[in-house]
Amino acid sequence: PNGRRRYDLFKMKAPVAGKIFQNLAVARFCRVLGTMLRNGVPILKSLEVSRDAAGNRVLSEAISAATENVTSGESLSRPLAASGHFPANVVEMIAVAEESNTLDSVLTDIADGLERRTHRQMDLMVRLLEPLMLLFLAGVVLIVVIALLLPVMKMGMTV
């Protein structure tokens, strides 16, 4: 369990892809929680199911703390903000939705927004990686060609 937590934390802190992993896990959590609340499932049961759906131990711990807060009648957004693993704008939107009693629809909107943003980030990353991969492969081909031609050239020089 501790190794999985470290791995999930490492994935979230990774330089380029960390935000993508974090946003995907938060989007999964928001999507499942919003859908369950919209369909009339009690919030405590919804939090339990969505905690497991997040697919990230670090976020699951923050969601467990939030579940304890909700059980004692407090806000959902405070422990999520205190964990530091949920984006600030997501926590603010959840806080406003709690006060206006529109948590189900706002959570779905958050998930939609995070998924769109993540999709754009992944597209950009792929566009940036394509030329780099092409240069790398060109370098490999150049090395192979040089490795093949160098002995032939040496043989030609000795004759």
Domain-wise residue ranges, the chain: 2-129
Determine if the pTM surpasses 0.85.
Answer: no
CATH of domain 2-129: 1.20.81.30
Backbone angles phi, psi at 111, to 5 degrees: -60, -45
What token pair was written down for 8?
A: 């999930």
pLDDT of residue 112: 97
CA–CA distance, 58 with 7 (Å, rounded to integer) = 9
pLDDT tens track for 79-116? 999 989 999 999 999 999 999 999 999 999 999 999 99
Neighbouring C-alpha atoms within 13 Å toward the C-beta of 138: 6
What token pair was written down for 88?
A: 């600030």
Q: Which amino acid is at 159?
A: V
Q: Percent helix, strand and coil across the chain, each rounded to 5?
A: 85, 0, 15
Low-confidence ranges of the chain (pLDDT < 50): none
Mean pLDDT over the full length of the chain:
93
> Dihedral (C-alpha) 29, 40, 97, 69: value to the nearest 10 degrees?
-70
Q: Which SS3 state, helix, strand or coil, does residue 110 take?
A: helix
